[in-house]
């Protein structure tokens, strides 16, 4: 299907999904989120794809949910359509790794979308924020929940109650982003990282993603048990034999996802 609000480019095992509503700083509307979810699901199902990058423009990853689309809605509307809940559920079901490559504004739903990805690589121009408070609402796609887990209560309260923006440097210091790179090199750096992941055993990458995500859903002891069982199960795979043999033979492992 041809998309209107995003561009998708699959090259060398990497799906690059670019949000593309430049006139609205990539504000997330129903159509964009629908197309994004569909593109993510197609990439997840595409055997060639081993890592996904979601990005925006230089000026904006996404400046939030589309305020024009939401402004006329009442409680009955957002409750009945369960605004954006479907997108959150669909994104969290993607099994392949998703990197958010963020340049410029990642605000409100934009910050929340970045946090719903597996990790964030930020350009030094990135600005993160949950400014919903200025619109008379609160975050609705993880801004009070995921942000609090990433940066802690104090900073999350600060962001959610004042609506101030965080620089890329502060975001890295606070644990919101994994690395900061020069804006001009954002896609190059994100692609290099994606390429590194694409060289691993996809099966093992998926297992690692599942185990890390488990830590957000369960107690420490249950999470550790889950991790141990997955770790044990890896010893039933050919890729474990290949990975360890290759190390001992001082050569590059040739993983086969088996």
At 92, give phi and psi (nearest 5°).
-75, -10
Q: Is 141 in the site for ligand HXC (CB under 6 A)?
A: yes
- Alpha-carbon distances of 107 from 25, 64, 86, 102, 169, rounded to whole Å: 10, 5, 20, 11, 16
Q: Which of 49, 101, 102, 108 binds ligand HXC (CB under 6 A)?
A: 108
At 39, give phi and psi (nearest 5°).
-65, -40
Which residues are the active-site residues? 65, 109, 112, 132
Q: Which of 18, 34, 67, 234 binds ligand HXC (CB under 6 A)?
A: 67
74 Cβ partners below 8 Å, 6+ apart?
Answer: none
Q: Which of 15, 17, 94, 109 binds ligand HXC (CB under 6 A)?
A: 109
Q: Tokens 């006329």 identify what position?
A: 72
Contact 15, 44 (CB under 8 A): no
What is the C-alpha end-to-end distance of the chain, expressed in Å? 31
State which residue, 29 or 201, has the beta carbon closest to ligand HXC: 29
Instruction: Report residue 258 as tokens.
Output: 């088996």
State which residue, 97 or 110, has the beta carbon closest to ligand HXC: 110
Q: Tokens 């989120």 identify what position?
A: 33
Q: Which of 63, 94, 147, 207 binds ligand HXC (CB under 6 A)?
A: 63
Q: Which of 16, 19, 27, 193 binds ligand HXC (CB under 6 A)?
A: 27
Contact region with ligand HXC (CB under 6 A), list: 1-9, 20-28, 182-190, 215-223 = 20-28
Q: Is 131 in the site for ligand HXC (CB under 6 A)?
A: yes
Neighbour tally for 251: CB within 10 Å: 9
Contact region with ligand HXC (CB under 6 A), list: 33-41, 129-137, 185-193, 236-244 = 129-137
Contact 14, 194 (CB under 8 A): yes
Minimum distance from CB of 89 to ligand HXC (Å)?
A: 12
Q: Catalog residues that contact ligand HXC under the rule CB under 6 A.
A: 24-25, 27, 63-68, 83-84, 105, 107-109, 131-132, 135, 139-141
């Amino acid at each position: 299907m041809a998309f209107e609000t995003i561009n998708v480019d699959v090259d060398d095992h990497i799906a690059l999904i670019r949000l593309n509503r430049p006139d609205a700083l990539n504000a997330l509307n129903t159509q964009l989120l629908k197309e994004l979810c569909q593109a993510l699901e197609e990439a997840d199902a595409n055997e060639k794809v081993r890592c996904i990058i979601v990005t925006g423009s230089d000026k904006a990853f996404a400046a939030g949910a589309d305020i024009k689309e939401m402004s006329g809605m009442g409680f009955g509307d957002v409750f009945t359509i369960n605004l954006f809940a479907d997108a959150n559920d669909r994104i969290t079901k993607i099994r392949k790794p998703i990197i958010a490559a963020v340049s410029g504004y990642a605000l409100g739903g934009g910050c929340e979308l970045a946090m719903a990805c597996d990790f964030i690589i930020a350009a030094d121009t990135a600005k993160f924020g949950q400014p919903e408070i200025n619109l008379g609402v609160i975050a609705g796609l993880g801004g009070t929940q995921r942000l609090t887990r990433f940066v802690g209560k104090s900073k999350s309260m600060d962001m959610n109650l004042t609506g101030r923006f965080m620089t890329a440097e502060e975001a890295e210091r606070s644990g919101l982003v994994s690395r900061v790179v020069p804006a001009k090199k954002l896609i190059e750096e994100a692609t290099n990282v994606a390429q590194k992941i694409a060289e691993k055993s996809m099966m093992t990458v998926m297992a690692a993603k599942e185990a890390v995500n488990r830590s957000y859903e369960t107690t420490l002891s249950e999470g550790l048990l889950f991790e141990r069982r997955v770790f044990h199960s890896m010893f039933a795979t050919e890729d474990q034999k290949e990975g360890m043999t290759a190390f001992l033979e001082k050569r590059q492992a040739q993983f086969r996802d088996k």
